[in-house]
Structure 1
């Protein structure tokens, strides 16, 4: 009788293991930068506007995230050359268009020049006024400055995050060309000095994107999830929570 009991227990354990495996959610690599308030990797349960929206969408679509945060140029390259890898947020630009699968827009993003000493109103004025401009390395802002005729000698690419702000504060650069919410969030943490902001000179949507080689079913599930988060007001609530205290001084 004991061997029968053992067989029953073994069969039950095998059945549970098989059932668990059958219902295990697939894990997908998700690449994000430490760029509050857009994305946060080291802030516990808070992952920023785009980060929270993406994680909620992945949960709704039935995927577990494996969050990775290498330097942004490498993150873009890993996703572009890989398969079924997600990246957020990524600005949809002409130069990137054919290299990724664009799933859905997460939010619009305004960009402007920030300086401690000069207020400018155009790219032309900025070219004449600023000798050295900090930008996030591998960012859409860096590409835009080159497209607008800024010389490579005027552009100082730095790791995305607080480094450009610190360079501006120390007088190592004359200006910072960056997304408005990210800049105001970072500056609020490091300085009380007034920051001069140009008018908005670049606006583009930030996307959840995938490798060019991406499972069509995953794309459709994530797109549907983001559409639901948009229609039920979740995206608007997430944006308000992270952006409500930001304003230019």
Structure 2
């Protein structure tokens, strides 16, 4: 199978663990054959994992649990993130997570439900900044995930193409920062704090939070209203019964 596209079957062990996290699993289509739905994710720990024994990460596990609770069979796909967004946007009834709800994406997707908030900041080893304006003057090259909301946010804030250095999402920007190939890393706070200790013991300087946008379970622009309603209800039920918090604490314990 091509490395550019991977299809993952949700393992029985992962589903069993998710069922233990959900106090009462009630599906809408009990007794009927479950409809298989594609869910597109990426490797963005601890938000989503492609291959981790614990599961699919905070947002990934909640998305899979919501799909299961709503009576759908899950088929997980992994594509380069920019391509995944284009593919889902142009298809019918495909799901994607975690997707930040930012203005440049608003009209391209159907926004089902927020899973968790996401704060973003600049991370560096030498100089801490307190604003986008100061970052623009201070950092020559800023690493961001390729196809990420961070890349869109910096362009919207007026950073030049020369300053924005898109890299494969994951630990690549952290490695580039450690090697001195970039001056700063603009990224989600929980993801950066999760990745950095695995890369280095050096102190990582964090700016004030510069941007915040919720991470969503989203669907294609052309998406079944019934599916949207069922999944939205499922996510809210998982939030109400404490499942979302339990999943969050599994990957980011206090």
TM-score normalised by length of structure 1:
0.88
Aligned counterpart, 1:181: 190
Distance 2:134 2:103 in 1: 25
Decide which of 153, 157, 164 is 2:162's aligned counterpart. 153
> What is the CA–CA distance in structure 1 between the aligned matches of 2:95 and 2:149, rounded to whole Å?
18
5 Å matches for 1:1-249?
Answer: 23-244=32-253
CA distance in 2, matches of 1:95, 1:117: 32
- Secondary structure of the corresponding residue to residue 60 of structure 2: helix
What displacement does 1:45 show?
A: 4.2
Q: In structure 2, what is the Cα distance between the partners aligned to 1:54 and 1:75?
A: 16
* CA shift for structure 1 position 244: 2.2
Name the larger-Rg structure.
1
Secondary structure of the corresponding residue to residue 39 of structure 2 = strand
Distance (Å, rounded) in 1 between the aligned partners of 2:249 and 2:149: 24
Deviations 1:59-100 (A, max 9, x none): 100111111111100000000011110000101111111110
Compare the two structures and name the one with the higher helix fraction: 1
Match of 1:18 in 2: none
Q: Secondary structure at the match of 2:120?
A: strand
Q: Distance in 1 between matches of 2:253 and 2:190?
A: 10
Cα distance in 2, alignment partners of residues 203 and 240 from structure 1: 21
Q: Specify the SS of the correspondent of 2:42.
A: coil
**How far, CA to CA, are the matches of 1:132 and 1:147 in structure 2?**
16
**RMSD, aligned α-carbons:** 1.1
User: Take 1:98 and 1:155, find their aligned partners in 2: how far apart are those partners?
Assistant: 24
- Find the residue that maps to 1:23 and give its secondary structure: coil
- Deviating above 3 A after TM superposition, structure 1's stretches of 4 or more consecutive aligned residues are none
Q: Where does the alignment leave 5 or more consecutive residues of structure 1 unmatched?
A: 1-21
Query: Scaled by the length of structure 2, what TM-score is found?
Result: 0.86
